[in-house]
């Protein structure tokens, strides 16, 4: 019984991690259909921002929840103005440019900080589910994932900005005719997506090995989750994260992590074959 509860908790943790990892990418892809290959490096920048400021004395949570998103959001702004802005509509060129950007970011962080950096330990310690120990930090991650989803939903649903964003997503020309400037909205969305990714990077710091090349381990999973989720940002990423999170955890627990990864990839393949537009291409089509 306690074991089942433990596994259930692990599944929630895995889903939360996937949500955090992919929401930023989902916002950018869902809005602008841009494939940002530097997504992993934005995560890495968020992690480094958190680590460097915490080691300099700032409170971990301020670093994670404020400094990381603001810093990576600013980087996103520079990137959007400097590179992405010229490439709208050119999906392949954006892929190439963001791949170059990812190499550049890895290179510059390695040049400044070297190949390793002192990390930060998880703040909360453990707690027990029956006779089993698990991490209280996982509770924090689950809470953060829910908060992020709720926040995006609130923004999209309840704020004027959210309304404008949704309108531009559905029909940019009409929105432009009504006085909205789509390029400004794209810029804002890219910055938002970058900030969310920076936040995710910061939240992951206490449970990861932080290195300039850490982004590469997350990018395939984030992409598969976003593409599998489909056009709707929240529901899509949420459902896809749930599906893949469950498969990965359950298979890993029953067999080995190798099979867990392969199972995740194969299930992604099958799902894309069955639902070519992602989950929300068929179900929950009109959700956010």
Indicate whether 8 belongs to the interface with other proteins (CB under 8 A): no
Of all helices (H) and strands (E), which one includes residue 250? helix 233-254
Interface region with other proteins, contact rule CB under 8 A, candidates 127-135, 146-154, 169-177, 235-243: 127-135
Least Å distance, CB 215 to other proteins, is: 11
Give dist(CA 156, CA 164) in Å, integer.
9
Beta carbons within 8 Å of 62's beta carbon, 6+ residues apart = 53
Two tokens at 258?
């190798």
Least Å distance, CB 213 to other proteins, is: 5
DSSP state of 123: S
Two tokens at 163?
């309304």
Two tokens at 288?
């956010």
Indicate whether 55 belongs to the interface with other proteins (CB under 8 A): no
**CB-based burial label for 134 (10 Å; 0-12, 13-18, 19+):** middle
Indicate whether 262 belongs to the interface with other proteins (CB under 8 A): yes
Indicate whether 88 belongs to the interface with other proteins (CB under 8 A): no
**Among 31, 44, 47, 101, interactor with other proteins by CB under 8 A:** 101
**Footprint of other proteins on residues 138-197 (CB under 8 A)?**
138
Indicate whether 114 belongs to the interface with other proteins (CB under 8 A): yes
Indicate whether 112 belongs to the interface with other proteins (CB under 8 A): yes
**Footprint of other proteins on residues 221-250 (CB under 8 A)?**
223-224, 227, 249
Indicate whether 77 belongs to the interface with other proteins (CB under 8 A): no
Indicate whether 54 belongs to the interface with other proteins (CB under 8 A): no
Indicate whether 6 belongs to the interface with other proteins (CB under 8 A): yes
In the numeric block, the tokens 């926040």 are attached to: 151
Least Å distance, CB 126 to other proteins, is: 2
Indicate whether 288 belongs to the interface with other proteins (CB under 8 A): no
User: Residues in contact with other proteins, total (CB under 8 A)?
Assistant: 86
- Max intra-chain CA distance, the chain: 62
Backbone dihedral region for residue 172 (phi beyond 0: left; psi -120 to 50: alpha; all else: beta): alpha
């Amino acid at each position: 019984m306690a074991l089942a509860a433990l596994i259930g908790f692990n599944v929630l943790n895995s889903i939360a991690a996937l949500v955090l990892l992919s929401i930023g990418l989902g916002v950018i892809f869902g809005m602008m259909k841009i494939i940002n290959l530097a997504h992993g490096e934005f995560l890495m920048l968020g992690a480094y921002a958190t680590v460097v400021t915490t080691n300099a004395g700032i409170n971990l949570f301020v670093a994670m929840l404020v400094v990381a998103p603001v810093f990576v959001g600013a980087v996103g702004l520079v990137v959007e103005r400097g590179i992405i802005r010229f490439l709208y509509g050119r999906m392949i060129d954006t892929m190439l440019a963001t791949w170059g950007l990812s190499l550049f970011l890895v290179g510059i962080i390695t040049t400044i900080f070297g190949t390793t950096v002192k990390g930060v330990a998880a703040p909360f310690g453990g707690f027990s589910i029956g006779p089993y120990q698990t991490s209280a930090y996982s509770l924090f991650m689950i809470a953060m994932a829910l908060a992020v989803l709720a926040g995006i939903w609130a923004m999209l649903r309840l704020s004027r900005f959210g309304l404008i964003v949704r309108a531009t997503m559905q029909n940019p020309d009409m929105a432009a005719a009504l006085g909205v400037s789509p390029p400004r909205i794209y810029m804002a969305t890219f910055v938002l997506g970058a900030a969310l990714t920076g936040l995710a990077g910061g939240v992951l710091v206490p449970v990861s090995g932080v290195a300039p090349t850490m982004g590469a381990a997350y990018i395939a999973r984030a992409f598969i989750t976003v593409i599998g989720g489909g056009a709707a940002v929240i529901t899509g990423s949420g459902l896809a994260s749930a599906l893949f999170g469950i498969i990965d955890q359950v298979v890993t627990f029953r067999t080995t992590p190798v099979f867990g990864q392969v199972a995740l990839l194969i299930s992604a393949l099958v799902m894309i074959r069955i639902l070519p537009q992602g989950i929300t291409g068929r179900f929950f089509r009109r959700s956010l």
